[in-house]
Amino acid sequence: MNESYDIIVLGSGLGGLAAAFEASRAGKKVLLLEQHNLPGGFATSFVRGRFEFEPSLHEMPNIPSIEEASGVVRYLLDDAGLNIDFETIPDAYRVILTRGGVDVRMPFGVGAFINTIEKQVPGSREPVTAYMELCRDIQEAFGYLSRNEKKVDYRELMRRHGNFIRTGAATADEVADRLKVPPAARDLLYPYWCYLGVPTNRLSFTIWAALLNSYISGGAVIPRHRSHEISSAFVEKILEHGGRLRFNTQVARINTRSGRVVGVTTAAGEEIHCGALISNASPTLVFNSLIHPSTEVPPAARKNINARKHGFSLVVVYLGLDAGPEELGLQDYSYFIAPHMDTRALYENIGNLECRDIMQASVCLNVANPACSPPGTTILALTAGFRSEAWAAVRPSNYVKTKEQVARKLIDQFEKAVGTSILPHIEEVEVAAPATFARYTGAYDGIVYGYEPEPWDSIVPRAMAEEKEHYFENLRFCGGFSYRCHGYGSSILSGKSAAEKTLARTGG
């Protein structure tokens, strides 16, 4: 069987789903290949007993306009027309710094957010307000870029959004220093750094500002039926458009000839031809193990990967508890718990199996989505960053034990910080480690985040260099390792734009 498609999409993570959605909507003959038996990659769910767990999503920013850079929820609902029910998250987060005696609930809404910081750190209103205004400005500049993606007028950008250019090479800390944001205010301002996975002394201010503003100004939502609802809603539309989706089908090779992709070979040895390929698998995987023959890979493509730093992976402890959130004293959806908010030190501590001085970002699903589990029960997920190196010494024989020990540490940290008791209520528990993510998504080394977005490898440099770093004419990338960097919104929008760019070439 030598089938042929206009576009093959490799991998059905959020990026691949969005790409297949857009390509099939445009009337192309599309094949989406997925090695797992589920769509979504990280955006999925799993069931244990009475509980259906959310594997990865903490929240999506709820920017009200599709015109804006992070208006991904509006894109899903209004533009793509997906059948997803979203639940609203009440507050931004509770930050508990155990060594600094900080325990503050941060609200959504820029005004309320600034007021709360001022109350905790008197005198910080002015710099924090300036900081938040600047973040707003950056986000608007992104909106301008998104609207003019096809042809950016940099002089116009400079005129309208000079701050965007002037802070473009800066780190999050540099801007905070410049605006004299006091350290105590940064304690409350910085917890979201862990969603980007780069300490604020190296983190691109641009991407940080957009993230902070989009959450705080827009609030956040989660899908009612876990992320599997988003993925399934995409699948429904792709099939409706006549796209084909094959599960349990791994791509073993991407066949290329003279700088062009001609098709793929599946693990079962089946050859399928295509006019263009959109890969949700990372450049790391594609250029190191999938392109065939490997001599077709230009050295620049591998240098490009080797120059970058792969982001980290996670450990998540998923807990189904047999007591309701009220009984457990869990009033907050999102908990950021750490000894302090020195992001550089927290980043250094990522991945120590003793869990010494680490930060955890934990979520009580029921607070935003009360019907997510039966009455009198709670779903709690404790998450901490881990580098795979920490697990490299763990062998299959002590793997389960190691996971248990890490889980105990994270549970203990949570119990002490929040002043609650979790252990006696565990009805279901599952611990995901980097190898778990590697198993289910095939991601290189189980990495959850993409390449680290330092200023020189943040979204703007990546976007500007995209055509230059485009090594195969009819191969584009989407997902967390692509130009928009990682995260749900970025992955989805990267898939959309990969499809649009592919269609523009093939005349769609």
Partner 1 sequence: MVVTVKGKTRDLLRFIFHLRKRNRLFKKAPAAKVSPGPMNILAQELHPLFLELKVTQVRQETPLSKTFRLAATEEGKKLPCFRAGQYLVVEDRVEGTPVSRPFSLSSTPDEAADGGYYDITVKGDESGFFAPWALSTWKTGKILRCTGPAGNFYIEPLREADHLVCLAGGSGITPFRSIIKDSLSRNEAYRFTLLYGIPSEEEMIFRQELQELRRLNPDRFTFVPVCSGEQAPEGMEKGFITADLIRRYVSDIGGVSFFFCGPPAMGKHLEEELKVFHLAPRRSRREHYGNPPLESQGEAEYSVTVISGEDRKTMAAREDETVLIALERAGLNPPAMCRSGECGWCRSRLLEGEIRVPDGVSGLRRGDEKFGWFHPCSSYPRSDLVMEVPENPLKNTGE
Least gap, CB of 101 to partner 1 (angstroms): 30
In the complex with partner 1, the residue whose CB is nearer, 232 or 349, is 232
| 3-class SS letters over 357-387 | CCCEEEEEHHHHCHHHCCCCCEEEEEEEEEC
As given in the structure block, the two tokens for residue 19 are 């790409």
Least gap, CB of 285 to partner 1 (angstroms): 9
In the complex with partner 1, the residue whose CB is nearer, 67 or 126, is 126
Could you give the C-alpha distances from 171 to 56, 69, 193, in angstroms and in order? Answer: 27, 20, 12
Q: How far is CA 164 from the centre of its chain?
A: 23
Least gap, CB of 91 to partner 1 (angstroms): 25
Least gap, CB of 280 to partner 1 (angstroms): 16
Residues paired with 362 in a beta bridge: 335, 382
As given in the structure block, the two tokens for residue 189 are 């301002």
In the complex with partner 1, the residue whose CB is nearer, 195 or 399, is 399
In the complex with partner 1, the residue whose CB is nearer, 45 or 93, is 45
Least gap, CB of 105 to partner 1 (angstroms): 29
Least gap, CB of 9 to partner 1 (angstroms): 16
C-alpha–C-alpha distance, residues 423 and 404, integer Å: 12
Least gap, CB of 204 to partner 1 (angstroms): 9
The residues, any chain, with a CB within 8 Å of residue 460's CB and separated by 6 or more, are: 168, 206
As given in the structure block, the two tokens for residue 221 are 């939502």
In the complex with partner 1, the residue whose CB is nearer, 85 or 348, is 85
Structural contact between residues 190 and 100, judged by C-beta atoms closer than 8 angstroms: no
Order the strands of the 220-223 sheet from edge to edge: 60-61, 220-223, 86-88
C-alpha–C-alpha distance, residues 313 and 335, integer Å: 19
Q: How far is CA 287 from the centre of its chain?
A: 22
In the complex with partner 1, the residue whose CB is nearer, 106 or 328, is 328
In the complex with partner 1, the residue whose CB is nearer, 112 or 429, is 429
In the complex with partner 1, the residue whose CB is nearer, 382 or 503, is 382
Least gap, CB of 146 to partner 1 (angstroms): 19
CA torsion through residues 297, 302, 303, 305, sign: positive
Residues paired with 338 in a beta bridge: 97
Structural contact between residues 62 and 73, judged by C-beta atoms closer than 8 angstroms: yes
Q: Give which of 393, 475, 416, 460 is closest to 169, Cα–Cα.
A: 460
Question: Element (H or E) spanning 118, and its range?
Answer: helix 110-120
442 Ramachandran zone, left/alpha/beta (phi>0; psi -120 to 50): left
In the complex with partner 1, the residue whose CB is nearer, 71 or 283, is 283
Task: Look at residue 190 and give its three-state secondary structure.
Answer: coil
Q: Which amino acid is at 462?
A: R
In the complex with partner 1, the residue whose CB is nearer, 358 or 432, is 432
In the complex with partner 1, the residue whose CB is nearer, 186 or 228, is 228
At which residue do the structure tokens 């509770």 appear?
94
In the complex with partner 1, the residue whose CB is nearer, 72 or 285, is 285
Q: How many alpha carbons fall within 13 Å on the CB side of residue 316?
A: 25
As given in the structure block, the two tokens for residue 373 are 């589990």
Least gap, CB of 340 to partner 1 (angstroms): 25
In the complex with partner 1, the residue whose CB is nearer, 88 or 289, is 289
Least gap, CB of 443 to partner 1 (angstroms): 8
Least gap, CB of 318 to partner 1 (angstroms): 11
Q: How far is CA 238 from the centre of its chain?
A: 22
Q: What is the dihedral of CA 158, 159, 160, 165, to 10 degrees?
A: 20
Least gap, CB of 174 to partner 1 (angstroms): 5
Indicate the DSSP class of residue 10: E
Task: Look at residue 426 and give its three-state secondary structure.
Answer: strand
Count of other CB atoms within 10 angstroms of residue 149: 12
Least gap, CB of 79 to partner 1 (angstroms): 20
Structural contact between residues 494 and 280, judged by C-beta atoms closer than 8 angstroms: no
